[in-house]
Amino acid sequence: MKKKGLFISFEGIDGSGKTTQVKRLGQSLRDKGYELVTVREPGGTPVAEKIRELLLDARNDGICPRTEAFLYAAARAQLVTEVINPALTEGRVVIADRYLDSTLAYQGYGRGLDTRFLEQLNRLAVAGTVPDLTIILDISPVEGMVRRSDSCPDRLEREGLQFQEAVRAGYLSLSRQYPERIKVVDAMQPPEQVYAEIVALVTPFLAQLAEAGV
């Protein structure tokens, strides 16, 4: 695939405020005239949405960690092929609410599956499509729980604080392993401040895109 666009992913534990920040950034970029595609994982294509239903249904409590990893990877492969790669080829900006690091953080650090194996699974699923920039919104699991206390928890959200703590530690470890790509923003700050830091991280990439004449 010949990639011309810009690919940004957002990561964080449940309740980190990712979705709100993604929406805000997306709106602002659209207002500035960028050709934008926003995606949310798992999902984003008819097949991937069906896999999402399987994964998040709280009644499916028998799904084992390996099945979980394969299902997330399968949904991702479909999304990359149908939506992300075509958009990047056309020079668009793609913003993903979760992507391959979620599998490493949740199924690897959270569930305890071998992260080297998951890296290989991810490689197979994304076939080279890795974000230019990944922003982790870092928040304590307790604060995350407070923030999503009014919604009905899905299967993963029922896992409890210890699980969320392991996932958070996983994200922070990933940011140390891939410091060029993955940046951490303290999401315990007021939303305005969080947004300002996101804009500061994204701006140089938009400038590069402009220089490339896209």
Which residues in this chain contact ligand TYD in the complex, by CB under 6 A?
14, 19, 40-42, 56, 72, 97-98, 102-103, 106-107, 154, 156-157
Q: Which CB atom, from 75 or from 87, has the smaller least distance to ligand TYD?
A: 75
> Would you say 134 and 183 are in contact if contact means Cβ atoms under 8 Å apart?
yes
Query: What is the smallest separation between the CB atom of 36 and ligand TYD, expressed in angstroms?
Result: 19
> Whole-angstrom Cα distance, residue 45 to residue 81?
10
Query: What is the smallest separation between the CB atom of 167 and ligand TYD, expressed in angstroms?
Result: 8
> Whole-angstrom Cα distance, residue 21 to residue 104?
22
Q: Which CB atom, from 63 or from 207, has the smaller least distance to ligand TYD?
A: 63
Dihedral sign computed on CA atoms, order 6, 11, 14, 18 = negative
Q: Which CB atom, from 7 or from 72, has the smaller least distance to ligand TYD?
A: 72
> Whole-angstrom Cα distance, residue 54 to residue 67?
11
Q: Which CB atom, from 19 or from 91, has the smaller least distance to ligand TYD?
A: 19
Query: What is the smallest separation between the CB atom of 56 and ligand TYD, expressed in angstroms?
Result: 6
- Identify the bridge partners of residue 134 per DSSP, sorted by sequence position: 9, 182
Query: What is the smallest separation between the CB atom of 208 and ligand TYD, expressed in angstroms?
Result: 27
Query: What is the smallest separation between the CB atom of 114 and ligand TYD, expressed in angstroms?
Result: 15
Measured CA to CA in angstroms, residue 67 lies from 5, 11, 52, 55 at distances of 33, 22, 13, 10
Q: Which CB atom, from 5 or from 110, has the smaller least distance to ligand TYD?
A: 110
